[in-house]
């Protein structure tokens, strides 16, 4: 390396790794004294990445604000720019004379885009160095004995753990090289990530604080108070039993490697750690099928006879007005807080695809727009898993009964009462099936069914038969 290159400014490009702790690319970029450009690019061009939905944009605003403040405390500046990443990165390198660029790796379509950008930069005389930072095991690192990727989680996870030690986390830099004077970006507000007219984000503000420090506090409190009961209580949506780290992980405010090592000596954390394995597995699947948000992983589902789109029915599901309390509670939790409990995600996704026979892509898109943790791998993976079209999926013919799911996982109705308050005065016996309450009970609870709360939009038994027939039709056509 010439001294010219050693003194030239360096670039670290932040993407889904909005943190200082355990950020290998950032640490490498900080070696030496050359000035450092710290860049974030908001790319809505859909070239290699998916345009973020509304709730995720709200989160991103908070996360970038928090990162900017943390960097400012170390004398640095986050340069925020907008536009197709390929153009923005190429331009900033030309503008600043950067000769070495660093980033943490992305995968699937985003990985292809990064390879194109690296090739552009090499041509312009700028070397690139990339790092593993956001998964425990990168998608290509886990292979069967025959060198094949996996389609079954249990085999994948066994093989992953045989591939060797997970790297040690790196500590955050104590000091950062100076910024380049006179280099400017856009103010965060100019990205217009927050909703204004109307401002629907009140519930999100009440529920969350994006940013690295809240992520690590959440991990600490989870490990101190809740991890021991996680395996037993994680399916009960009224319990604060899970970590709620998903949006922090989605935006890389906390590293899975940091979490892995923080739980190394906790036997009781095994189940929790295996959920991080599912996250890796979803990325392993996305790397095999980058179009997973649009294309069935099992192609016999291409012939599935989904119902013709019915806006009114879809709207009832989206707004939590199906008449099935556990489904409605989940959909309202999502709308109000930008998050939904995992068990209930499975129930509402099953209800959409099986009871309503609506193509899973409609649900996936709604989640993409409304979840603060909307994730390019986990979201389509979760939808295809429930719909039956995915890798290692739940069989299509396993159809959740929303009443039984409610009674089993929300036995005293606390979750339903929190999000469907208009039926909150029904006795526990009826809370998951208000249509079976007696006229006297309904009156005592102040409910007129069909007026204050809907009657079920489909009958469970009929819907179940219809969806099993649709499944048979697909199998016969295949
Ligand atoms: C239809 C459907 C859609 C989903 N969409 C998303 C999504 O867009 N983003 C997302 O992060 N998760 C998604 N999930 C997975 C799961 O519901 C959430 O990760 C989990 O509810 C987040 O809550 P938590 O952080 O408290 O999880 P915890 O139980 O505390 O788990 C810790 C972490 O492990 C990962 N994890 C947990 N469960 C899963 C899982 N089943 N699959 C993959 N990773 C998992 C998450 O990163 C999570 O934060 C979806 C699941 C379904 C059924």
Residue 335's CATH number: 1.10.579.10
For the CA of 348, the closest atom of ligand 1 is 1
Q: Ligand 1 centre and the CA of 39: distance in Å?
A: 28
pLDDT given for residue 55 in this prediction? 98
CATH number at residue 59: 3.40.50.620
| Nearest residue to 82 (alpha-carbon basis) of 170, 233, 166, 192 | 192
Q: Would you list the DSSP string of 398-467?
A: ----HHHHHHHHSTT-HHHHHH-GGGTTS-GGGTT-GGGS-HHHHHHTT--BTTTBPPPSS-HHHHHHHH
**Ligand 1: residue whose CA is nearest its atom 51:** 382
Where a domain ends, among 288, 319, 334? 288
Residues 160 and 234 grouped into a single domain: yes
Q: Ligand 1 centre and the CA of 315: distance in Å?
A: 24
pLDDT given for residue 7 in this prediction? 87
Dihedrals phi, psi of 228, to nearest 5 degrees = -65, -35
Do 372 and 249 touch, CB atoms closer than 8 A?
no
pLDDT given for residue 397 in this prediction? 87
For the CA of 222, the closest atom of ligand 1 is 30
| Residue environment code for 234-255, b if the CB has 16+ CB neighbours within 10 A, otherwise e | bbbbbbebbbbbbbbbbbbbbb
Residue 74 falls in which region: left (phi positive, over 0), alpha (psi -120 to 50) or beta: alpha
pLDDT given for residue 4 in this prediction? 54
Is residue 293 in a domain? no
Cα 339 to Cα 316: distance, rounded to the nearest angstrom: 18
Q: Is 43 annotated as a binding residue?
A: no
For the CA of 373, the closest atom of ligand 1 is 9
Is residue 315 in a domain? yes
The ligand 1 site (C-beta within 6 Å) comprises 234, 242-246, 249-250, 275-276, 278-279, 282, 342, 345-346, 349, 367, 371, 373-375, 378-379, 382-383, 386
Residues 140 and 128 grouped into a single domain: no
Do 47 and 83 touch, CB atoms closer than 8 A?
no
pLDDT given for residue 1 in this prediction? 44
Task: Give the torsion through C-alpha atoms of 14, 18, 22, 26, to 10 deg.
Answer: 20
Q: How far is CA 309 from CA 26, 357, 358, 396, 457, in A?
A: 47, 9, 7, 20, 15
Q: Ligand 1 centre and the CA of 478: distance in Å?
A: 32
**Ligand 1: residue whose CA is nearest its atom 48:** 246
Is residue 190 in a domain? no
Is residue 148 in a domain? yes
| Nearest residue to 134 (alpha-carbon basis) of 166, 182, 173, 179 | 166
Do 297 and 284 touch, CB atoms closer than 8 A?
no
Is residue 378 in a domain? yes
CB-based burial label for 93 (10 Å; 0-12, 13-18, 19+):
buried
Where a domain ends, among 269, 288, 307? 288
The pLDDT tens digits of the residues spanning 2-41 come to 445 678 999 999 999 999 999 999 999 999 889 999 999 9
The total of structural domains in the chain comes to 3
Residues 278 and 323 grouped into a single domain: no
For tokens 């006297």, the residue is 440
pLDDT given for residue 428 in this prediction? 97
Q: Is 295 annotated as a binding residue?
A: no
> C-alpha 63: how far from its chain's center?
15
Mutation choice for ligand 1 from 160, 269, 279, CB with most ligand atoms inside 8 A: 279
Task: Give the torsion through C-alpha atoms of 121, 123, 129, 135, to 10 deg.
Answer: 60
Report the interhelical angle of 325-337 vs 402-409 (nearest 10°): 70
Residue 185: which H helix or E strand, with range?
none
**First vs last Cα of the chain: how many Å apart?**
59
> C-alpha 105: how far from its chain's center?
17
Is residue 457 in a domain? yes
Structure tokens at 246: 């998903």
Is residue 194 in a domain? no
CATH number at residue 253: 1.25.40.80
| Nearest residue to 276 (alpha-carbon basis) of 371, 378, 376 | 378
Integer Rg of the chain from CA: 24
ipTM for this prediction: 0.99
Dihedrals phi, psi of 79, to nearest 5 degrees = -90, 120
Do 49 and 13 touch, CB atoms closer than 8 A?
no
| Residue environment code for 107-122, b if the CB has 16+ CB neighbours within 10 A, otherwise e | bbbbbebbeebbebbe
Q: Which residues of the chain have pLDDT under 50?
A: 1-3
Residues 159 and 17 grouped into a single domain: no
Residues 243 and 255 grouped into a single domain: yes
For tokens 């892509």, the residue is 361
Residues 257 and 391 grouped into a single domain: no
Residues 229 and 283 grouped into a single domain: yes
Strand 36-42: give its sheet, edge to edge.
78-82, 36-42, 10-14, 100-104, 127-131
| Nearest residue to 98 (alpha-carbon basis) of 27, 3, 6 | 6
Sign of CA dihedral 442, 445, 448, 452: negative
Residues 303 and 357 grouped into a single domain: yes
Where a domain ends, among 288, 309, 330? 288
Residues 63 and 154 grouped into a single domain: no
Full residue range of the structural domain in which residue 316 is found = 299-477
DSSP, res 16: S
H and E: helices and strands count for the chain: 21, 5
| Nearest residue to 20 (alpha-carbon basis) of 195, 187, 216 | 216
Tell me which residues are annotated as active site.
275, 278, 306, 342, 360, 383
**Omega before 198 cis (within 30°)?**
yes
Residues 15 and 158 grouped into a single domain: no
Is residue 45 in a domain? yes
Residues 248 and 359 grouped into a single domain: no
Q: Is 216 annotated as a binding residue?
A: no
Residues 126 and 143 grouped into a single domain: no
CB atoms within 10 A of CB 138: 18
pLDDT given for residue 3 in this prediction? 44
Q: Is 374 annotated as a binding residue?
A: yes
């Amino acid at each position: 390396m010439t001294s010219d290159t050693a003194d030239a400014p360096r670039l670290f490009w932040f993407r889904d790794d909005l943190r200082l702790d355990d950020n290998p690319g950032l640490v490498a970029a900080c070696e030496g004294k050359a000035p450092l450009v710290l860049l974030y690019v908001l790319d809505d061009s859909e070239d290699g990445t998916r345009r973020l939905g509304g709730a995720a944009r709200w989160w991103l605003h908070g996360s970038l604000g928090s990162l900017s403040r943390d960097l400012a405390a170390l004398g640095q500046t986050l340069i925020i720019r907008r536009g197709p990443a390929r153009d923005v990165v190429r331009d900033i390198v030309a503008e600043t004379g950067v000769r070495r660029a660093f980033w943490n790796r992305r995968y699937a379509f985003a990985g292809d885009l990064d390879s194109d950008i690296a090739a552009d930069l090499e041509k312009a005389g700028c070397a690139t160095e990339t790092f593993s930072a956001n998964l425990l095991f990168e998608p290509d690192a886990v292979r069967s004995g025959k060198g094949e990727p996996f389609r079954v989680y249990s085999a994948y996870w066994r093989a992953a753990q045989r591939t060797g030690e997970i790297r040690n986390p790196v500590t955050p830099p104590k000091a950062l090289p100076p910024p380049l004077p006179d280099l400017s970006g856009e103010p965060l507000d100019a990205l217009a990530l927050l909703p204004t007219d109307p401002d629907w984000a009140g519930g999100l503000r009440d529920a969350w604080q994006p940013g690295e420090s809240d992520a690590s506090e959440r991990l600490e409190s989870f490990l101190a108070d809740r991890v021991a009961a996680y395996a037993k209580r994680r399916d009960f949506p009224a319990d604060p039993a899970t970590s709620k780290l998903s949006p922090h992980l989605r935006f890389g405010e906390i590293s899975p490697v940091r979490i892995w090592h923080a739980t190394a000596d906790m036997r009781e954390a095994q189940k929790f750690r295996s959920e991080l394995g599912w996250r890796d597995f979803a990325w392993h699947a996305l790397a095999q099928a980058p179009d997973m948000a649009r294309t069935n992983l099992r192609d016999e589902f291409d012939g599935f006879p989904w119902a013709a789109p019915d806006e009114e029915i879809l709207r009832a599901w989206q707004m939590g007005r199906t008449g099935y309390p556990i489904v409605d509670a989940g959909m309202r939790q999502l709308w109000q807080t930008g998050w939904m409990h995992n068990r209930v995600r499975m129930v509402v996704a099953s209800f959409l695809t099986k009871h309503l026979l609506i193509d899973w892509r409609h649900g996936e898109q709604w989640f993409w727009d409304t979840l603060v943790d909307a994730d390019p791998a986990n979201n389509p993976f979760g939808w295809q898993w429930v719909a039956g079209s995915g890798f290692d999926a739940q069989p299509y013919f396993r159809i959740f009964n929303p009443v039984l799911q409610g009674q089993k996982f929300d036995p005293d109705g606390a979750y339903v009462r929190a999000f469907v308050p208009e039926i909150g005065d029904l006795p526990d016996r009826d809370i998951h099936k208000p249509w079976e309450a007696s006229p006297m009970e309904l009156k005592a609870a102040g409910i007129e069914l069909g007026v204050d709360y809907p009657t079920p939009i489909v009958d469970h038994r009929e819907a179940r038969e219809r969806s099993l027939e649709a499944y048979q039709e697909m199998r016969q056509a295949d």
